[in-house]
Amino acid sequence: MGGAHTRYTTPKTKNNIDLSTVPQTILDQYRKSDSDFFSTQTGCGCGESIEFLTIPEWNSAPAEVTMENSRNASIVLGVDRNSTITSGYGGKCHTQCGAIDIVAGRMGPYVRRWDEEEEEVKANRNFALDAARIYVSQKADIDDYFDLCAGEVGMSEAKSAIGIKADDVRLIARSGIKLVTGTNVRDSQGHRQLEINGIDLIAGNDDTDLQPIVKGCNLVNGLSELVEEIDDLREILLSFLKYQKSFNEKLISHTHYSPFYGRDTSPAFNMMSAGIQTVIKQTAQTELSIKSHATNLSGWERNYLSAMSDAFICSSYNKSN
């Protein structure tokens, strides 16, 4: 089938036993030849199933050795190809392009053994449609095969590669899992590795907004220094308020010398009223707010920058360089 899946529409929810793609004439032929056929091919207990009526023939190439069953699962030992026998590096006559393809559910939801004209279908490798796959190749354009974006590490071309694809993928280790790059001086083709490639975590196959992962310890140190700077700024503001308060108190009660006999004049009562209100606000509101800010900042630091806190911004288990 190769890339011919575009002819089909989005499939409906399938029944537990689905023979909808089998032509009625084919079903009638099997019923007439053996009346007990359908009752013996139930698939129960992992047994043989009439499912084989829906499974296409694998379009095997001369260099391929195929191990398969009647339930649409197979292992193909061959050479690199991503579709027909003329595709990939095996189709381009390259050497050193051996490949192993482990696939369950060839053609995915569009699986069929016969087409609309009741012609038998020969299925090719299809990285988009096949349900679940582990693909190992000595030489491949693996990103192109799986239709992946380049990311920061770029597209893999003519290199050994392993691709894993299914609806859901789980990597489970009883101890630890390491994702490591740049372990060798040369790659599988003998080319010298001139740089260390990183690891891209791409959701939705969209690399338009890839950003560096934050280093937790460096972030904690940076935020801790920022907290100290904010503390210093608060002390500067508090000192300013004290100086301003002292000045305001002097300004409220200040007098001038009268031109009459050099006596002191009375204070400016309108300024005295405004000055008293300002002093009260500085003391009752601003200074209290500064003290409250200090308490809040200290609590924030304990919650997010302390390894003893449940809200600590660094993971207890996962690390990155």
pLDDT at 2: 45
Q: Residue for token digits 């009638």?
A: 28
Residue with the larger pLDDT of the pair 38 and 81 = 81
Q: Are residues 98 and 233 in the same domain?
A: no
Q: How many domains is the chain built from?
A: 2
d(CA 146, CA 113): 25
Query: Which residues, other chains included, contact 60 with Cβ-Cβ below 8 Å and sequence gap of 6+?
Result: 66, 76
pLDDT band at 25 (very low <50, low <70, confident <90, very high): confident
Q: Are residues 132 and 257 in the same domain?
A: no
Tokens of 28: 């009638």
d(CA 22, CA 15): 14
pLDDT at 275: 62
Query: Which residues, other chains included, contact 85 with Cβ-Cβ below 8 Å and sequence gap of 6+?
Result: 59, 61, 91, 124
32 within a domain of the structure (yes/no): yes
pLDDT band at 81 (very low <50, low <70, confident <90, very high): very high
Q: Are residues 160 and 225 in the same domain?
A: no
313 within a domain of the structure (yes/no): no
311 within a domain of the structure (yes/no): no
Q: What is the pLDDT of residues 109-124, one digit of tens each?
A: 899 898 888 888 999 9
53 within a domain of the structure (yes/no): yes
Residue with the larger pLDDT of the pair 1 and 225 = 225
Q: Are residues 118 and 17 in the same domain?
A: yes
pLDDT at 232: 87
pLDDT band at 251 (very low <50, low <70, confident <90, very high): low
Q: Are residues 149 and 290 in the same domain?
A: no
What Å distances lie between residue 214 and 103, 203, 222, 300, 321, CA to CA? 37, 17, 11, 20, 9
Q: Is the pLDDT of residue 285 over 50?
A: yes
185 within a domain of the structure (yes/no): no
pLDDT band at 59 (very low <50, low <70, confident <90, very high): very high
Q: Are residues 224 and 298 in the same domain?
A: yes
289 within a domain of the structure (yes/no): yes
Which range marks the domain in which residue 41 is found? 4-165
pLDDT band at 224 (very low <50, low <70, confident <90, very high): very high
What Å distances lie between residue 181 and 175, 178, 200, CA to CA? 20, 10, 11
Q: Is the pLDDT of residue 87 over 90?
A: yes
Residue with the larger pLDDT of the pair 277 and 26 = 26
259 within a domain of the structure (yes/no): yes
Q: In 10 A of CB 104, how many CB atoms?
A: 14
Q: What is the pLDDT of residues 133-173, one digit of tens each?
A: 999 999 999 999 999 999 989 999 999 999 999 999 999 99
Q: Is the pLDDT of residue 202 over 60?
A: yes
Q: Are residues 128 and 222 in the same domain?
A: no
Query: Considering the chain, what is the average pLDDT of its residues?
Result: 84
Chain mean position to CA 229: 35
The DSSP 8-state label assigned to residue 257 in this structure reads: B
Q: Are residues 149 and 263 in the same domain?
A: no
Q: Are residues 263 and 143 in the same domain?
A: no
Domain end position, chosen among 106, 132, 165: 165
pLDDT at 37: 67
Looking at residue 14, its amino acid is K
Q: Are residues 236 and 301 in the same domain?
A: yes
State the average pLDDT over residues 219-224.
93
Q: Are residues 144 and 243 in the same domain?
A: no
Q: What does the buried/exposed string (b/e) look like for 77-99 if buried means 16 or more CB atoms within 10 Å of the residue's CB?
A: ebbbbbbbbebbbbbeeeeebbb
237 within a domain of the structure (yes/no): yes
Q: Are residues 148 and 227 in the same domain?
A: no
Beta strands 98-104 and 159-165 are unpaired
State the average pLDDT over residues 55-82.
95
